[in-house]
């Protein structure tokens, strides 16, 4: 049970960190945009499955690297792997209410 609590605490710290990474074209953080599909934590090793707003996104190389760098700064993280996927394709229904409000879509 202690590991679950530790993982939840780490996941919360990771989410806070991901909210400091912004899509440069939309100016909303990638977590609220719905670009983060999954966060897996195993013995303080983190795997993040993410996407981009489109496969032709100009930050296709930079954004996953920035996610990797920033998540590595979270205390107690040993290793980070960021995997990019386009399945399922991102769409605006994946955005949080916060993102929709920021973009004036609500």
pLDDT per residue, tens digit, the chain (106 aa), is 556 667 889 999 999 999 999 988 888 999 999 999 999 999 999 999 999 988 887 777 889 999 999 999 999 999 999 999 999 999 999 999 999 998 888 7
pLDDT number for residue 7: 86
pLDDT number for residue 24: 82
Closest CA to 19 of 9, 10, 32, 8: 32
Closest CA to 76 of 9, 2, 4, 5: 9
pLDDT number for residue 4: 66
Sign of CA dihedral 49, 53, 55, 58: negative
Token readout for 70 is: 């920033």
Model's pTM, two decimal places?
0.90
Yes or no: say if 48 and 36 are a contact pair by the CB < 8 Å rule.
yes
Closest CA to 14 of 43, 53, 34, 44: 44
pLDDT number for residue 2: 55
Q: H/E element holding 82?
A: strand 79-84
pLDDT number for residue 23: 87
pLDDT number for residue 6: 73
Domains and CATH numbers, the chain: 2-91 (3.30.300.130)
């Amino acid at each position: 049970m202690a590991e679950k609590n530790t993982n939840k605490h780490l996941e919360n710290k990771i989410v806070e960190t991901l909210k400091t990474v912004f899509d440069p074209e939309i100016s909303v953080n990638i977590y609220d945009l719905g670009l983060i599909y999954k966060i897996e934590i195993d013995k303080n090793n983190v795997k993040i499955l993410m996407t981009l707003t489109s496969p032709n996104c100009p930050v296709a190389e930079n954004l996953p690297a920035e996610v990797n760098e920033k998540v590595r700064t979270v205390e107690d993280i040993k290793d980070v792997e960021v995997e990019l996927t386009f399945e399922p394709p991102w769409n605006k229904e994946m955005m949080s209410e916060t993102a929709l409000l920021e973009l004036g879509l609500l």
